[in-house]
Amino acid sequence: MSTLTEPITVNVLTGFLGAGKTSLLNRLLRLPRLAGTAVIINEFGEVGLDHLLVETMDDDIVLLKSGCICCTIRGDLKDALLSLLERSRRGELPSFSRVAVETTGIADPAPIVATLSADPMLRHHFRIGNIVTVVDVPNGLSNLSAYPEALRQVAVADRLVISKTDLAQGDAEAALHARLSAINPTAEILPFSEDLRPDDAIFLHDVHDLAARGSEVARWLHAASSGGHHHHPHDVNSHRDIRAFVLTTDQPLHWPRFALWLSMLLNRHGERVLRLKGLLAIEGNDSPVVIQGVQHLIHKPVHLQRWPDGVSGTRIVVIARGLDEKSVQRSFSIFNGLRYEDNIDDEVTSA
């Protein structure tokens, strides 16, 4: 384990109030390959308890309270991360190779991710790993209907954990699974209950490490393009404004033009583009470039050695809220000088 030379991975663990974040974290921290994970917990309110319930070396836990990590105390998150690093350097803490940040139940994880990537000092020492969202069987569906925060947490996730499966009745788990894939077709969904050993891949198989993991891209592209299976045109839920759709073209993109289009899109509609993942064919390149975005933020593009599923051609998955899909497709085509009919793709799904 090396803390001083390699960037330390930060995993954001989120999920609605009481969904089972702390319980999952406890189980994860016991797994051998996740030993050496420091923990930062943000609790809403004056008196935090979660840090007392997480079973790890006491000093590794930093509690951020009296505010929501996503809005009021982003500076505190930075301080907490840098202080962990400093204490480890001074030998006051064991070295650590990963930090898990557990958010409050009502946090929007996207600004946290933005803080981590925008701050030069944090970027130097830390890298963003999977955003993991826990949704529980008993309350998940109703929370998604009642609270936009719950919906956003699901939409931006890299991994979705369905918790409290031991309490599932009838087809409740299947119904939740279907709903989650409708909202976020690209996130892998894993079941969990307190009595089970969770899969350490929840944190370890890092979707942001795409250069090494072309298979991850293949997986989410497949999920997005087969999302039609989860299409519920007659779904009468009240959150139909979150939709996932795919932009495709066989024509190679001109990188500067594409980059300009993307920055204009996010400038104008960043709030509404909850998640964006793309595999791009770029003029003059045989192998693809991967782009990933969380709201306003675009991660550094990554070149892959080969097309992960052996199929070349640009595919961009967009998960957006209240954004007109057809106009995004139109502007993508026109701005990038594409034949318009090339990228008219059916709506993948709506939630």
Ligand X SMILES: Nc1nc2c(ncn2[C@@H]2O[C@H](COP(=O)(O)OP(=O)(O)OP(=O)(O)O)[C@@H](O)[C@H]2O)c(=O)[nH]1
Other Cβ atoms closer than 10 A to 301: 15
Beta strands of the chain (E only): which ranges?
8-15, 37-42, 61-64, 98-102, 126-136, 159-163, 188-191, 242-249, 273-280, 289-294, 297-298, 302-303, 314-321, 349-350
Minimum distance, C-beta of residue 198 to ligand X, in the bound complex (Å) = 10
Span interacting with ligand X, options 12-20, 65-73, 112-120, 123-131, rule CB under 6 A: 12-20
CA distance 176 to 190: 12
Residue type, 15: G
CA distance 265 to 257: 12
CA distance 56 to 38: 8
Q: Which is nearer to ligand X, 22 or 349 (CB)?
A: 22
Q: Which is nearer to ligand X, 161 or 210 (CB)?
A: 161
CA distance 31 to 339: 51
Span interacting with ligand X, options 11-19, 64-72, 170-178, 283-291, rule CB under 6 A: 11-19
Question: In this structure, are residues 131 and 158 in contact, taking their beta carbons and an 8 Å threshold?
Answer: yes
Site for ligand X in 36-95 (CB under 6 A): 50
160 to 189: interface string for ligand X, x by CB under 6 A? ---xx-xx----------------------
Under the criterion CB under 6 A, does residue 19 sit at the interface with ligand X?
yes
Site for ligand X in 125-164 (CB under 6 A): 163-164
Helix orientation angle between 148-155 and 109-118, rounded to the nearest 10 degrees: 50
What φ, ψ does residue 153 adopt, rounded to 5°?
Answer: -60, -40
Minimum distance, C-beta of residue 18 to ligand X, in the bound complex (Å) = 4
Under the criterion CB under 6 A, does residue 199 sit at the interface with ligand X?
no
Q: Which is nearer to ligand X, 15 or 109 (CB)?
A: 15
Minimum distance, C-beta of residue 42 to ligand X, in the bound complex (Å) = 9
CA distance 305 to 301: 13
Under the criterion CB under 6 A, does residue 14 sit at the interface with ligand X?
no
Q: Which is nearer to ligand X, 50 or 119 (CB)?
A: 50
- Which of 7, 18, 48, 94 binds ligand X (CB under 6 A)? It is 18
Span interacting with ligand X, options 13-21, 177-185, 292-300, 342-350, rule CB under 6 A: 13-21
Minimum distance, C-beta of residue 102 to ligand X, in the bound complex (Å) = 7
Q: Which is nearer to ligand X, 184 or 193 (CB)?
A: 193
The residue to which tokens 């309490």 are assigned:
167
Residues contributing to the site for ligand X (CB under 6 A): 15, 17-23, 50, 105, 163-164, 166-167, 193-194
